[in-house]
């Protein structure tokens, strides 16, 4: 197909009636100033997406551009920042020769600006604490975090059932450990009678895994106050969507914890939001950086749950974008659900690389103009193959795109700058507090203490009776002894006085017990 015909085809494919966001401009062969801008309709961003490419090819800047555009359109964003390089969105960018040249090539105005940020954390990183209770995670996700096998997962399910039936709140790991200990010891017969045999070896393994999880610092994600997902969907006073950055730089070695937390968060969002059908723009867009960590060693149950969530959550107005090096990192069933795709360069250093490139090129619409599997290795920094969905849900033409430069800083914020955002956060004051209301731990502790309190009460009553009998015996002996009446009366007063005082103290102690 010749360049003019293809240019006309592109303009037709990327012209929309509704709101759209500017991604960049088409590159047609050696022509970097084609005058054909590449836009994507805002209403299709709940149809999910992919940003892929080798290290250093510009994935993060493309992510930054899309997040900026969504925020300007009033769409809140949640981004998982595993490498710690997204904070620059909070500061205005600076003009430089590269930005100036690209601005002219694309035919756009470049207006440096900062964006409203909220820093979130599930670890020791500074930010709003995201927590959920053990009950909110549920047995399947919790078993994934703990790395349990099928048999041990069954034990966790029985524990949850036991707590549900007896209205024992499972809020944090302390509660879970207390129920496990009770079910394996004092409450063993009660548990066995109603829920089946609890293997001591399984219970022991689960307890060891819980302790190991605590030593990794993961206990901080369990408990109260639980995070309200509607706090992710705020706008600032200027109508910009809030950009929520979940800082995860210390979570790269804990992919199971990260992936399971994400599934719990998505499940909570799905359950909380109403059905919207096909809204004019999304309610929230979530970006999962280093997405391969989510699917690494994931069980079939979790993959099925993730696939189901991806299919259904778009009707709630929520879009999910995966950022990774290769499309092969994403399971095929999920990859097929992604409407928008931004593919940066891949490098063919090995035979496996060449095989992956061929496979990656087959994930995109066929092109009459580009030789995809060849050009995908020749893309420059800040260039990408782009395809999306038009307003009728049809795939747009695959186009080699010169990505527009971000309006915000193309570098990270300093620690001082980040702290300023944190100091002015209303959510920090709401969620970074410690709560420990009565839950399974305290209820079971009270239940275990009840027999010992009864036993102590019985012992005290027995001691009081014995003491009284002994004192009465002494009193009788005094009365019968050969002493004068006056001496007898003085001894009597003294003994009665002591008895009266002891009796009063005993009553006081009895009242304090109950």
In a domain, 437, yes or no: no
DSSP per-residue string spanning 443-463: HHHHHHHHHHHHHHHHHHHHH
Residue 326 in contact with residue 360, Cβ under 8 Å? Answer: yes
What range does the domain containing 165 cover? Answer: 134-221
Reported as a single tens digit per residue, the pLDDT across 307-363 is 888 999 999 999 999 999 989 889 988 998 999 999 999 988 888 888 888 888 888
- As given in the structure block, the two tokens for residue 298 are 């994931």
Domain boundary among 205, 221, 237: 221
| CA gap 33, 370 in Å, rounded | 17
pLDDT (average), residues 79-93: 93
pLDDT for res 351: 82
Report yes or no on 189 lying in a domain.
yes
Q: What confidence score (pLDDT) does residue 285 get?
A: 97
Of 175, 153, 152, the residue nearest 163 (C-alpha)? 175
Task: Determine the Cα–Cα distance for residues 395 and 79; give it in Å rounded to an integer.
Answer: 25
Give me the residues paired with residue 323 across strands: 51
Give the tokens for residue 39.
Answer: 């836009």
Domain C-terminal end among 157, 187, 221: 221
pTM score above 0.75? yes
Q: Using alpha carbons, list the distances in angstroms from residue 480 to 16, 126, 488.
A: 115, 82, 9
Per residue in 2-20, pLDDT (tens digit) is: 888 998 999 999 989 889 9
Contacts of 12 (CB under 8 A, 6+ apart): none
Q: Binning pLDDT at 50, 70 and 90, where does residue 94 land?
A: very high
Do 26 and 401 form a contact (C-beta atoms < 8 A)?
A: yes
Regarding whether 232 and 214 lie in a shared domain, the answer is no
Last residue of a domain, one of 163, 193, 221: 221
Band of residue 468 on the pLDDT scale cut at 50, 70, 90: low
Report whether pLDDT(483) > 80.
no
pLDDT in tens, 384-438: 999 999 999 999 999 999 999 999 999 999 999 999 999 999 999 999 988 888 8
pLDDT averaged over every residue in the chain: 84
Percent of the chain predicted with pLDDT > 90: 49
Residue 33 falls inside a structural domain: yes
Residue at 439 is within a domain = no
Residue 21, pLDDT above cutoff 90: yes
SS3 labels along 256-283:
HHHHHHHHHHHHHHHHHCCCCCCCCCCC
DSSP 49-110: EEEE--TTSSHHHHHHHHHHHHHHTT--EEEEESSS--GGGGSB----HHHHHHHHHHT---
Place 475 in a pLDDT band, splitting at 50, 70 and 90.
Answer: very low
Q: Tell me how far apart the alpha carbons of residues 217 and 400 are, in angstroms, rounded to a whole number.
A: 45
Beta strands at 383-387 and 399-403: parallel, antiparallel or unpaired: antiparallel
Per-residue model confidence (pLDDT) at position 494: 31
CA end-to-end distance (rounded Å), the chain? 91
What would the mean pLDDT of 117-128 be, rounded to a whole number? 90
Q: Locate 136 and state its tokens.
A: 């909110």
DSSP H/E element including 150: helix 150-165
φ, ψ at 341 (rounded to 5°) = -135, 130
Residues 52 and 187 in one domain: no
* One domain for residues 126 and 139: no
Per-residue pLDDT at 349? 82
């Amino acid at each position: 197909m010749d360049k003019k015909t293809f240019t006309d085809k592109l303009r037709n494919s990327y012209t929309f009636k509704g709101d759209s966001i500017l991604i960049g401009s088409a590159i047609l062969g050696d022509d970097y100033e084609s005058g054909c801008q590449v836009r994507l309709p805002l209403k299709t961003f709940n149809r999910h997406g992919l940003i892929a490419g080798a290290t250093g090819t510009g994935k993060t800047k493309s992510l930054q551009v899309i997040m900026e555009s969504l925020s300007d359109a009033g769409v809140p964003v949640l981004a998982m920042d595993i490498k710690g390089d997204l904070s620059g969105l909070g500061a205005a960018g600076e003009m430089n020769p590269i930005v100036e040249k690209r601005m002219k090539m694309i035919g756009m105005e470049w207006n440096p600006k900062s964006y409203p940020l909220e820093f979130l954390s599930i670890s020791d990183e500074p930010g709003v604490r995201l927590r959920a209770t053990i009950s909110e995670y549920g047995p399947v996700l919790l078993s994934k975090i703990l790395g349990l096998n099928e048999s041990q997962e069954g034990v966790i399910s029985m524990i949850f059932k036991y707590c549900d039936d007896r209205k024992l709140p499972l809020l944090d790991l302390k509660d879970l450990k207390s129920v496990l200990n009770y079910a394996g010891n004092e409450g063993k017969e009660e548990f066995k009678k109603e829920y089946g045999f609890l293997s001591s070896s399984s219970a022991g393994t689960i307890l060891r895994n819980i302790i190991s999880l605590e030593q990794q610092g993961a206990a901080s994600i369990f408990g109260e106050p639980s995070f309200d997902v509607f706090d992710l969907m705020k706008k600032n006073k200027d109508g910009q969507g809030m950009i929520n950055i979940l800082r995860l730089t210390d979570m790269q070695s804990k992919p199971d914890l990260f992936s399971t937390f994400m599934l719990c968060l998505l499940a909570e969002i799905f359950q909380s939001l109403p059905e919207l059908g096909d809204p004019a723009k999304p309610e929230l867009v979530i970006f999962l950086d280093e997405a391969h960590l989510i699917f690494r060693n994931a069980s079939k149950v979790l993959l099925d749950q993730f696939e189901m969530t991806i299919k259904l959550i778009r009707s709630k107005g929520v879009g999910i974008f995966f950022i990774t090096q290769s499309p092969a990192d994403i399971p095929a069933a999920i990859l097929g659900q992604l409407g928008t795709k931004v593919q940066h360069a891949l490098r063919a250093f090995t035979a496996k690389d060449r095989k992956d490139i061929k496979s990656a090129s087959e994930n995109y619409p066929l092109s009459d103009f580009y030789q995809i599997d060849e050009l995908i290795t020749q893309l420059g920094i800040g260039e990408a193959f782009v395809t999306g969905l038009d307003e009728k849900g049809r795939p747009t033409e695959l186009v080699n795109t010169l990505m527009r430069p971000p309006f915000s800083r193309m570098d990270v914020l300093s620690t001082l700058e980040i702290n300023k955002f944190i100091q002015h956060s209303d959510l920090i004051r709401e969620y970074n507090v410690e709560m420990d209301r009565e839950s399974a731990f305290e209820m079971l502790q009270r239940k275990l203490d009840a027999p010992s309190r009864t036993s102590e009460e019985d012992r005290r009553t027995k001691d009081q009776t014995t003491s009284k009998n002994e004192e009465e015996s002494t009193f009788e002996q005094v009365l019968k002894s050969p002493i004068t009446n006056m001496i007898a009366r003085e001894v009597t007063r003294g003994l009665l006085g002591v008895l009266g005082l002891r009796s009063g103290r005993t009553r006081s102690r009895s009242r304090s017990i109950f």
